[in-house]
């Protein structure tokens, strides 16, 4: 299984603290040694960093921990390969452009028979089930909506329905984003928490690192973090249910199908 980390914030925020915890699971406190990647949105802009080696040994991961990239939406993934060999093109997050937005995607789980589904608009570059599922999801959206639907809820329900369909094929824990929204689908394991005023201290589980968010934030900041397993030991994480689909934007929960 892989591990996921996502963030949605109302102001550009760095993910160094959470990322430091996750990176340890890529070969030290966890055995997810088969590469890692992180995608940052800055407005409509998108940049990602990928490395097909263990995150604990990655010079790029060290750089990202030191160099604070401030972003409103982040998707991060550390990989333990089950389908698809270890190489750059099989390293999450994957990205594609749809309706003039860069969509990105990371997945934890295995899917059986996903490659039997027909693709029309988007083709995978690598050989993972995950990238294939991402292509199919966007393909279906593009077929249903040649132009982006003007009502957000229409789009969200379409994504939820497609996630439900893919989830029938196996385990489908995902983070998906179109820059503005962070879409989260939980098949088996995901948890989230929102940090907002009054801020307090947080202690990482995987590294001896504490942060006092009072010192790092302003009182209007709202930041939600989503992860496969809680990253901190002294905060209240909300565990997601099986089949739960949730949309976050600007740090806040905007929609969930189970409430």
Question: Looking at 60-68, 167-175, 221-229, 232-240, which segment touches a copy of itself (CB under 8 A)?
Answer: 60-68
CB nearer a copy of itself, residue 28 or residue 89:
89
Task: Please choose, out of 5-13, 98-106, 169-177, 248-256, the segment that lies near a copy of itself by the rule CB under 8 A.
Answer: 98-106
Instruction: Please count the CA atoms within 13 angstroms of the CA of 222 that sit on its side-chain side.
Output: 8
Whole-number Å distance between alpha carbons of 189 and 95:
23
Is position 123 an interface residue for a copy of itself (rule: CB under 8 A)? yes
* Residue 190: CB minimum distance to a copy of itself, A: 26
209: number of CA atoms within 13 Å, CB side?
17
Rounded-to-integer distance, Cα 235 and Cα 219, Å: 18
Number of residues that bind a copy of itself (CB under 8 A): 31
Contact predicate 40/47, CB 8 Å: yes
Among the listed residues 1, 57, 65, 89, the single contact to a copy of itself using CB under 8 A: 89
With beta carbons less than 8 A apart as the criterion, state whether 194 and 252 touch: yes
The residue from 12, 16, 42, 203 that contacts a copy of itself (CB under 8 A) is 42
Site residues (CB under 8 A) for a copy of itself, limited to 236-255: none
For a copy of itself, which residue of 105, 122, 156, 192 counts as binding (CB under 8 A)? 122
Task: With residue 143 as reference, give the H or E element that holds it.
Answer: helix 129-144
Cβ 28 to a copy of itself shortest distance, Å: 21
CB atoms within 10 A of CB 66: 8
The kind and range of the H/E element at 248 are strand 244-249
The Cα–Cα gap between 96 and 136 comes to 12
Closest CA to 247 of 200, 178, 195, 199: 178
CB of 239 to a copy of itself, least distance (A): 34
Q: Which of 97, 112, 234, 258 binds a copy of itself (CB under 8 A)?
A: 97
Q: For residue 70, state whether it binds a copy of itself (rule: CB under 8 A).
A: no
Annotated catalytic residue, options 2, 135, 163, 186: 2
To the query of whether residue 76 is one of the catalytic residues in this protein, the response is: no
Pairing assessment for the beta strands 210-212 and 201-203 based on DSSP bridges = antiparallel
Q: Report the catalytic residues.
A: 2
Binding site for a copy of itself (CB under 8 A): 42-50, 52, 59-60, 63, 67, 87-91, 96-97, 99-102, 121-126
């Amino acid at each position: 299984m892989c591990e996921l980390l996502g963030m949605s914030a109302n102001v550009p925020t760095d993910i160094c603290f959470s990322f430091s915890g996750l990176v340890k699971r890529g070969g030290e406190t966890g055995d997810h040694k088969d590469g890692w990647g992180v995608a940052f949105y800055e407005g409509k802009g998108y940049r990602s960093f990928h490395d097909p080696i263990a995150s604990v040994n990655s010079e790029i991961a060290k750089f990202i921990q030191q160099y604070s990239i401030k972003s409103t939406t982040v998707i991060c993934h550390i990989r333990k390969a089950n389908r698809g060999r270890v190489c750059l093109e099989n390293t999450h997050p994957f990205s594609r452009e749809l309706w003039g937005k860069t969509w990105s995607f990371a997945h934890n789980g295995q899917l059986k028979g996903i490659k039997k589904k027909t693709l029309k608009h988007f083709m995978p570059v690598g050989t993972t089930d995950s990238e294939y599922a991402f292509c199919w999801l966007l393909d279906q959206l593009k077929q249903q909506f040649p132009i982006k639907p003007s009502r957000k809820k229409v789009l969200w329900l379409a994504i939820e329905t497609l996630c439900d369909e893919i989830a029938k094929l196996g385990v489908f824990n995902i983070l998906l984003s179109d820059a503005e929204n962070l879409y989260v689908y939980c098949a088996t394991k995901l948890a989230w928490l929102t940090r907002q005023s009054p801020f307090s201290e947080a202690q990482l589980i995987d590294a001896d690192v504490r942060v006092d968010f009072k010192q790092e934030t302003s009182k209007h900041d709202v930041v939600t973090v989503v992860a496969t397993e809680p990253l901190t030991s002294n905060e209240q994480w909300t565990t997601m249910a099986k089949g739960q689909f949730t949309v976050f934007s600007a740090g806040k929960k905007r929609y969930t199908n189970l409430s």
